Every structure is written in C-alpha cells, then in structure tokens.
Chain A
Amino acid sequence: MDLTRWARAQWDRIAAWLLIAGGVITLLVGWWGVSHTAYLAEQMPYLISAGMFGLFLLGVGATTWLSADLRDEWRKLDELADLMRHR
C-alpha cells in the first residue's frame, strides 16, 4: 500500500503514537531533571511540568488511539448501511 495514502487514512493512529512517544520522552526528561538535583524545591517544578505534561500527553494519545477504533467501527457501519441502501 502507498505510504502517503496509508498515512492519510490512519492519521489519527499516527498522531496517537506521536503523542504517546512525546509523553514518554517528557516523563524521561522530567526524571532526568529530578535525578540531577538533591533539592526538593528544584525537583518540584520538574514534577509539575514534565510529570503532569507527560501524563497529559499519554492520556490524549490513548484517547486518540481509542477514537481511531471508534471511527473504524463507524465506517464499517457506513459500509453496511450503504449495502442495505443499494440492495
């Protein structure tokens, strides 16, 4: 299958993977930041920015992936309804 066509059809799954990858990278950056200082006051901003934002990205990524599944089922129902209309 043509890669461009596949990417256009599966844009939401690609976006989901990018968001999940972004979330994981952000969490790793946060862990790196926290582990390089012994002061709690310096660790807290990393926890809030990288930790919370990483979780946010993971949540949006998972939701986008599940949305793609729902969209697929919606399209199958479309095909079924079309078949019935043209019988």
Chain B
Amino acid sequence: MTRPSASTPGHQPYPWQVPDLFRWFALLGLSLVGIVVAWWCASGTATFNRQLTWLNVGVAAVVVGGLGNMTWLLQGRRALALRRSLVLSALPIAPDRTDLSAVDADDVRHAVPGTKRHHRSGCSAVAGKQTETMSATDHERAGRRPCGLCGG
C-alpha cells in the first residue's frame, strides 16, 4: 500500500485510503449482522441456555465492531505519523543554541563567590579575581545586586 509523501500535490484529503474504508465498513457490517442474528435467534426461543448462547454471539459481534474501529483509528494514526515525520524532516533547521548564546553574550555578568554584587565584563572590581559567570537574572535570583561602578 503506497502512503503519501510530505508535499506531493494531489494526495488524498484524509489519512485513510479507500481499502481502509472498505475494511472498516466490512467489519462494522459483520458486527451489525451478528447483532441482528443474535437478537433474532434469542427472541425466537424461551430457553435461557439457548438465549445465553445468542447473547455470546452478540457480544462477539460487538467485539468485531470494536476491532474494526480500532483498526481504522490505528491506520489513520500510522498514516498521520508517517506524514508528520516527512513534513517535519523537510522543514528548515532552527538556529542552534550557540547562535543564541552569542546573542545573550551582552547579558553575561560576573560575581566573586560569597559577595552581594554582580559586575559587567571588564569591571575593575572583579579584575584578576576568580568569579562565577551567569546571566544578570540568575545573579539577581541568587540575591545579588548590580555593581555601583559598572552598573552591573
């Protein structure tokens, strides 16, 4: 069975193909016939044991219908997953994390561990000292305030 490609023009408007529809309808039809036969035969007898047999036939018929529904949905989900992977793999790749970190470089702040101020790169207050490097937001979350010299 052929499945659609990501961008083939003129593909089918639904995740299913005609044979899938026929299979679903065939199982539903079988289920309906089973229910009708079970009802017909059970109402034609007053013996409980015979009615119980036809009740089982009815239950089996409902199970057949359920299997038809399940097959239909699984078929649709499978076709959709295939199409989704085809479409998404054809999408242009998003910018990676290194590009974003370059944009954020201006936001980097330094602080000497144990102190209450954070500083911009090149601030004389942290020159030559061992520092923790984080974003300004993270420093403020850690309880630090901007440096009075460089403005943090």
Contact = CB atoms under 8 A, between A and B. Distances in A.
A81 B6 contact: yes
B interface bracket (residues with beta carbon within 8 Å of A): 35 or more
B48 interface: yes
Contacts of B62: 52, 55-56, 59
Contact of B46 (A41, A48, A74, A85): A41
A70 B76 contact: yes
A38 interface: no
Given A48-B58, A53-B35, A55-B62, A73 B80 contact: yes
A67 B73 contact: yes
B91 A84 contact: yes
Interface in B48-75: 48, 51, 54-55, 58-59, 61-62, 65-66, 69, 72-73
B83 A74 contact: yes
A8 to B, nearest CB: 14
A12 B88 CA distance: 27
B77 A70 contact: yes
Interface stretch (B37-45, B106-114, B130-138): B37-45
Nearest to B79: A74
Interface of A is mostly: helix
A62 B73 CA distance: 10
Contacts of A48: 35, 38-39, 42-43, 54-55, 58
Interface of B: 6-7, 9, 13-15, 28, 31-32, 35, 38-39, 42-43, 45-48, 51, 54-55, 58-59, 61-62, 65-66, 69, 72-73, 76-77, 79-80, 83-84, 87, 90-91
